Amino acid sequence: MMQSFTDAKNAFIDEVRVDDYIGLEGSRLVYEKLINSLDRDIKMILLYGEPGTGKTLMLNRIYHNFRHQKDIHFIDTPIGTKKEFYRRLFQIITGQMMPVDGHISFDTYVEYGKKMNGKRNIIVLLDEAQIYPDEMLEEIRMLSDTGSMKFILSAHMTEDGDLLAKSHFQSRIWEKLELKNADISELKTYVYKRLLNRGLVDIANQFADRQYKFIFKCTKGNFRECNKLLYSAFEIYEYYESNKPDKVEYGKIPMKILEMAAIKTGFIDV
Dump pLDDT digits (tens) for 63-89: 999 999 999 999 987 776 788 889 999
At 1 the pLDDT is 36
Taking a C-beta distance cutoff of 8 angstroms, is the pair 79, 131 a contact?
no
Rg of the chain over all Cα atoms, to the nearest angstrom: 22
249-260 mean pLDDT: 88
Gap between the Cα atoms of 180 and 55, Å rounded? 10
Report the share of the chain in percent with pLDDT over 70: 89
At 138 the pLDDT is 87
Mean pLDDT of the chain: 87
The pLDDT tens digits of the residues spanning 95-152 come to 999 998 888 999 999 999 999 999 999 999 999 888 888 888 889 989 999 999 999 9
**Does the pLDDT value for residue 47 go beyond 50?**
yes
CA neighbor of 268 nearest in space, from 210, 195, 223, 219: 219
Per-residue exposure over 120-132, b if at least 16 CB sit within 10 Å of its own CB, e if not: ebbbbbbbbbbeb
CATH code for residues 25-178: 3.40.50.300
**Does the pLDDT value for residue 217 go beyond 90?**
yes
At 158 the pLDDT is 59
Taking a C-beta distance cutoff of 8 angstroms, is the pair 200, 11 a contact?
yes
Kindly report the CA angle at 58 between 55 and 62, in degrees rounded to 5?
140
**Does the pLDDT value for residue 175 go beyond 90?**
no
Query: Given pLDDT bands bounded at 50, 70 and 90, which one contains residue 32?
Result: very high
Length of the chain: 270
CA neighbor of 58 nearest in space, from 85, 24, 7: 24
Gap between the Cα atoms of 131 and 152, Å rounded? 15
For residue 156, what are the β-bridge partners? Answer: 49
CA neighbor of 57 nearest in space, from 39, 34, 80, 40: 34
165-178 mean pLDDT: 68
Rounded to 5 degrees, φ, ψ at 122 are -85, 125
- Please state, in angstroms and as integers, the Cα–Cα distance from residue 246 to each residue in 9, 237, 242, 258, following that order: 20, 12, 10, 18
Amino acid symbol at 222:
N
Report the share of the chain in percent with pLDDT over 90: 58
pTM of the model: 0.85
Strand order from edge to edge, sheet including 149-156: 72-75, 122-126, 149-156, 44-49, 175-178
Least confident piece of the model among 8-12, 142-146, 225-229, 238-242: 238-242
